[in-house]
Amino acid sequence: MKITFIGTGEAFGRKANTSILADDKILLDCGMQTLQQLMKLKFSLPKVKLIFLSHFHADHIFGLPAFLCAGEEEKRKEVLEILGGPGTPDYVEKLLFLAYRKTPGDFNFKINFNEISKINEKFQKFEFDNYVFEFAETEHSIPAFAVSITDREGKKVTYTGDGAVTGEVVNLAGNSDLIIAEAYGENIKGHSSVKCAVELSRKARAKKLALVHIQRKEKVCVSEMEGIEGVFVPGDLDVIEI
Protein backbone atom coordinates (compact mmCIF):
# COMPACT_ATOMS: atom_id res chain seq x y z
CA MET A 1 0.00 0.00 0.00
CA LYS A 2 1.30 3.42 -0.95
CA ILE A 3 0.87 6.14 1.66
CA THR A 4 1.37 9.82 0.79
CA PHE A 5 1.48 12.32 3.64
CA ILE A 6 -0.37 15.17 1.95
CA GLY A 7 -0.10 17.19 5.14
CA THR A 8 1.31 16.38 8.57
CA GLY A 9 0.62 19.49 10.63
CA GLU A 10 -1.80 20.72 13.25
CA ALA A 11 -4.50 23.34 12.77
CA PHE A 12 -2.44 26.53 13.03
CA GLY A 13 1.17 25.68 12.23
CA ARG A 14 3.40 26.12 9.17
CA LYS A 15 2.88 22.58 7.92
CA ALA A 16 -0.24 21.68 5.93
CA ASN A 17 -3.15 20.26 7.90
CA THR A 18 -2.91 16.51 8.40
CA SER A 19 -4.29 14.60 5.41
CA ILE A 20 -3.28 11.18 4.13
CA LEU A 21 -3.63 9.61 0.68
CA ALA A 22 -3.71 5.82 0.43
CA ASP A 23 -2.99 4.15 -2.92
CA ASP A 24 -3.86 7.42 -4.71
CA LYS A 25 -7.56 6.66 -4.22
CA ILE A 26 -8.47 7.02 -0.53
CA LEU A 27 -8.13 10.43 1.12
CA LEU A 28 -8.12 10.54 4.92
CA ASP A 29 -9.33 14.00 5.98
CA CYS A 30 -9.42 17.08 3.80
CA GLY A 31 -8.01 20.10 5.57
CA MET A 32 -7.65 23.68 4.47
CA GLN A 33 -4.48 23.16 2.40
CA THR A 34 -5.24 19.68 1.04
CA LEU A 35 -6.19 20.82 -2.46
CA GLN A 36 -3.05 22.95 -2.83
CA GLN A 37 -0.88 20.09 -1.61
CA LEU A 38 -2.38 17.71 -4.14
CA MET A 39 -1.80 20.27 -6.87
CA LYS A 40 1.87 20.45 -5.91
CA LEU A 41 2.02 16.76 -6.81
CA LYS A 42 0.19 17.44 -10.12
CA PHE A 43 -2.29 14.87 -8.84
CA SER A 44 -5.45 14.14 -10.81
CA LEU A 45 -8.30 14.76 -8.36
CA PRO A 46 -10.74 12.30 -9.99
CA LYS A 47 -8.40 9.48 -8.92
CA VAL A 48 -9.75 9.86 -5.38
CA LYS A 49 -12.63 7.43 -4.98
CA LEU A 50 -13.34 7.85 -1.27
CA ILE A 51 -12.83 10.54 1.36
CA PHE A 52 -12.87 9.61 5.05
CA LEU A 53 -13.64 12.42 7.48
CA SER A 54 -12.44 11.67 11.00
CA HIS A 55 -14.42 14.55 12.54
CA PHE A 56 -15.83 17.97 11.80
CA HIS A 57 -13.07 20.35 12.91
CA ALA A 58 -11.95 22.85 10.27
CA ASP A 59 -8.41 21.53 9.82
CA HIS A 60 -9.85 18.15 8.86
CA ILE A 61 -12.79 19.08 6.64
CA PHE A 62 -12.77 22.72 5.48
CA GLY A 63 -10.81 21.82 2.35
CA LEU A 64 -13.67 19.65 1.10
CA PRO A 65 -15.71 22.33 -0.76
CA ALA A 66 -12.66 23.44 -2.76
CA PHE A 67 -11.74 19.81 -3.47
CA LEU A 68 -15.22 19.09 -4.83
CA CYS A 69 -15.38 22.24 -6.96
CA ALA A 70 -11.90 21.66 -8.38
CA GLY A 71 -12.84 18.06 -9.13
CA GLU A 72 -15.73 19.28 -11.22
CA GLU A 73 -13.40 21.65 -13.09
CA GLU A 74 -11.23 18.61 -13.83
CA LYS A 75 -14.29 16.97 -15.44
CA ARG A 76 -14.80 14.36 -12.77
CA LYS A 77 -17.55 11.90 -13.70
CA GLU A 78 -16.88 9.07 -11.26
CA VAL A 79 -18.94 8.62 -8.12
CA LEU A 80 -17.24 9.95 -4.97
CA GLU A 81 -17.81 8.18 -1.67
CA ILE A 82 -17.70 10.28 1.50
CA LEU A 83 -17.39 8.31 4.72
CA GLY A 84 -17.74 9.83 8.18
CA GLY A 85 -19.54 9.83 11.49
CA PRO A 86 -23.25 10.36 12.07
CA GLY A 87 -24.42 13.67 10.65
CA THR A 88 -21.85 13.77 7.84
CA PRO A 89 -24.37 14.43 5.01
CA ASP A 90 -25.96 17.38 6.85
CA TYR A 91 -22.62 18.87 7.86
CA VAL A 92 -21.17 18.66 4.35
CA GLU A 93 -24.32 20.15 2.86
CA LYS A 94 -24.13 23.14 5.22
CA LEU A 95 -20.41 23.55 4.58
CA LEU A 96 -20.89 23.56 0.81
CA PHE A 97 -23.64 26.15 1.05
CA LEU A 98 -21.56 28.44 3.26
CA ALA A 99 -18.51 28.08 1.01
CA TYR A 100 -19.98 28.34 -2.48
CA ARG A 101 -23.79 28.35 -2.18
CA LYS A 102 -23.78 24.81 -3.57
CA THR A 103 -25.44 21.56 -2.61
CA PRO A 104 -24.06 18.03 -3.09
CA GLY A 105 -26.52 17.57 -5.97
CA ASP A 106 -25.13 20.51 -7.95
CA PHE A 107 -22.03 18.70 -9.17
CA ASN A 108 -21.69 16.80 -12.43
CA PHE A 109 -20.72 13.71 -10.46
CA LYS A 110 -22.60 11.79 -7.80
CA ILE A 111 -21.64 11.93 -4.14
CA ASN A 112 -22.56 8.94 -1.98
CA PHE A 113 -22.60 9.54 1.77
CA ASN A 114 -21.78 6.69 4.15
CA GLU A 115 -22.23 7.17 7.90
CA ILE A 116 -20.33 5.11 10.45
CA SER A 117 -22.88 3.06 12.37
CA LYS A 118 -23.19 0.60 15.21
CA ILE A 119 -25.19 -2.59 15.59
CA ASN A 120 -25.37 -4.07 19.08
CA GLU A 121 -22.80 -1.52 20.28
CA LYS A 122 -20.26 -2.61 17.66
CA PHE A 123 -19.10 -0.45 14.77
CA GLN A 124 -19.92 -2.02 11.43
CA LYS A 125 -17.20 -2.66 8.90
CA PHE A 126 -17.34 -0.78 5.61
CA GLU A 127 -16.10 -2.49 2.46
CA PHE A 128 -15.16 -0.62 -0.68
CA ASP A 129 -13.05 -1.41 -3.74
CA ASN A 130 -11.22 -4.36 -2.12
CA TYR A 131 -10.53 -2.42 1.09
CA VAL A 132 -12.04 -3.09 4.50
CA PHE A 133 -12.56 -0.12 6.83
CA GLU A 134 -12.99 -0.54 10.59
CA PHE A 135 -13.55 2.16 13.20
CA ALA A 136 -13.13 3.18 16.83
CA GLU A 137 -13.98 6.36 18.69
CA THR A 138 -11.25 8.54 20.16
CA GLU A 139 -11.59 10.93 23.10
CA HIS A 140 -11.85 14.39 21.56
CA SER A 141 -13.79 17.60 22.12
CA ILE A 142 -16.35 16.47 19.54
CA PRO A 143 -17.19 12.99 18.22
CA ALA A 144 -14.12 11.70 16.37
CA PHE A 145 -13.11 8.41 14.80
CA ALA A 146 -9.99 6.42 14.12
CA VAL A 147 -10.00 4.14 11.09
CA SER A 148 -8.07 1.09 9.96
CA ILE A 149 -7.84 0.14 6.29
CA THR A 150 -6.90 -3.34 5.16
CA ASP A 151 -6.23 -4.08 1.49
CA ARG A 152 -6.65 -7.33 -0.44
CA GLU A 153 -3.06 -8.35 0.36
CA GLY A 154 -3.68 -7.97 4.08
CA LYS A 155 -1.68 -4.76 4.50
CA LYS A 156 -3.17 -2.68 7.30
CA VAL A 157 -2.90 1.03 8.03
CA THR A 158 -4.50 2.69 11.05
CA TYR A 159 -5.10 6.44 11.18
CA THR A 160 -6.08 7.79 14.58
CA GLY A 161 -7.38 11.18 13.47
CA ASP A 162 -7.53 13.50 16.50
CA GLY A 163 -8.09 12.49 20.09
CA ALA A 164 -6.75 10.64 23.07
CA VAL A 165 -6.18 6.93 22.56
CA THR A 166 -8.83 4.58 23.93
CA GLY A 167 -8.79 0.84 24.47
CA GLU A 168 -10.97 0.53 21.37
CA VAL A 169 -8.32 2.34 19.32
CA VAL A 170 -5.64 -0.05 20.59
CA ASN A 171 -7.78 -3.00 19.52
CA LEU A 172 -8.48 -1.39 16.16
CA ALA A 173 -4.77 -0.83 15.50
CA GLY A 174 -3.72 -4.36 16.39
CA ASN A 175 -1.01 -5.76 14.08
CA SER A 176 -1.01 -2.71 11.82
CA ASP A 177 1.77 -2.43 9.27
CA LEU A 178 1.62 1.32 9.88
CA ILE A 179 -0.06 3.49 12.49
CA ILE A 180 -0.44 7.17 11.64
CA ALA A 181 -0.97 8.73 15.04
CA GLU A 182 -1.73 12.20 16.29
CA ALA A 183 0.99 13.34 18.72
CA TYR A 184 -0.23 16.83 19.52
CA GLY A 185 1.31 17.26 22.96
CA GLU A 186 1.52 16.20 26.58
CA ASN A 187 -1.38 16.71 28.98
CA ILE A 188 -3.68 18.37 26.46
CA LYS A 189 -7.26 17.25 26.95
CA GLY A 190 -8.77 15.49 23.96
CA HIS A 191 -5.43 14.90 22.26
CA SER A 192 -2.66 12.31 22.12
CA SER A 193 1.09 12.78 22.55
CA VAL A 194 4.35 11.20 21.45
CA LYS A 195 4.39 9.00 24.56
CA CYS A 196 0.79 7.92 24.02
CA ALA A 197 1.40 7.19 20.34
CA VAL A 198 4.49 5.12 21.13
CA GLU A 199 2.54 3.21 23.77
CA LEU A 200 -0.23 2.60 21.24
CA SER A 201 2.32 1.23 18.79
CA ARG A 202 3.78 -1.09 21.45
CA LYS A 203 0.40 -2.44 22.52
CA ALA A 204 -0.78 -2.86 18.94
CA ARG A 205 2.48 -4.52 17.86
CA ALA A 206 2.65 -2.24 14.84
CA LYS A 207 5.53 -2.48 12.39
CA LYS A 208 5.82 1.27 11.82
CA LEU A 209 4.58 4.42 13.56
CA ALA A 210 4.25 7.82 11.90
CA LEU A 211 3.81 10.80 14.24
CA VAL A 212 1.68 13.62 12.80
CA HIS A 213 -0.38 16.62 13.95
CA ILE A 214 2.35 17.64 16.39
CA GLN A 215 1.77 20.97 18.15
CA ARG A 216 3.96 23.62 16.51
CA LYS A 217 5.73 24.44 19.81
CA GLU A 218 6.19 20.82 20.83
CA LYS A 219 9.72 19.43 20.74
CA VAL A 220 9.72 15.74 19.91
CA CYS A 221 12.01 13.96 22.35
CA VAL A 222 13.98 11.16 20.71
CA SER A 223 14.33 9.38 24.06
CA GLU A 224 10.58 8.81 24.08
CA MET A 225 11.02 6.60 21.02
CA GLU A 226 13.77 4.36 22.43
CA GLY A 227 13.10 0.68 21.95
CA ILE A 228 10.53 1.26 19.22
CA GLU A 229 11.62 0.38 15.72
CA GLY A 230 10.10 2.11 12.74
CA VAL A 231 9.05 5.36 14.46
CA PHE A 232 9.36 8.44 12.28
CA VAL A 233 8.05 11.96 11.85
CA PRO A 234 7.05 12.38 8.20
CA GLY A 235 7.19 15.66 6.34
CA ASP A 236 4.53 17.08 4.05
CA LEU A 237 4.36 15.16 0.74
CA ASP A 238 6.57 12.31 1.97
CA VAL A 239 5.72 8.87 0.58
CA ILE A 240 6.09 5.42 2.12
CA GLU A 241 5.32 1.95 0.76
CA ILE A 242 4.19 -0.76 3.15
**Mind listing the pLDDT tens digit for each residue in 52-71?**
999 999 999 999 999 999 99
**Mind listing the pLDDT tens digit for each residue in 206-235?**
999 999 999 887 666 545 565 567 899 999
Burial class (CB in 10 A: 0-12, 13-18, 19+), 176: buried
**pTM (whole model) above 0.75:** yes
pLDDT for position 228: 61
The residue-averaged pLDDT of 87-109 equals: 98
- As a 3-state breakdown, the chain gives helix, strand, coil percent values, each rounded to 5, of 25, 30, 45
pLDDT for position 120: 82
What is the tally of structural domains in the chain?
A: 1
SS3 59: helix
**CATH code, domain carrying 176:** 3.60.15.10
59 catalytically annotated: yes
pLDDT for position 227: 57
**Mind listing the pLDDT tens digit for each residue in 125-143?**
999 999 999 999 999 999 9
The catalytic residue among 59, 151, 162, 177 is 59
Q: What is the domain extent for residue 64?
A: 2-241
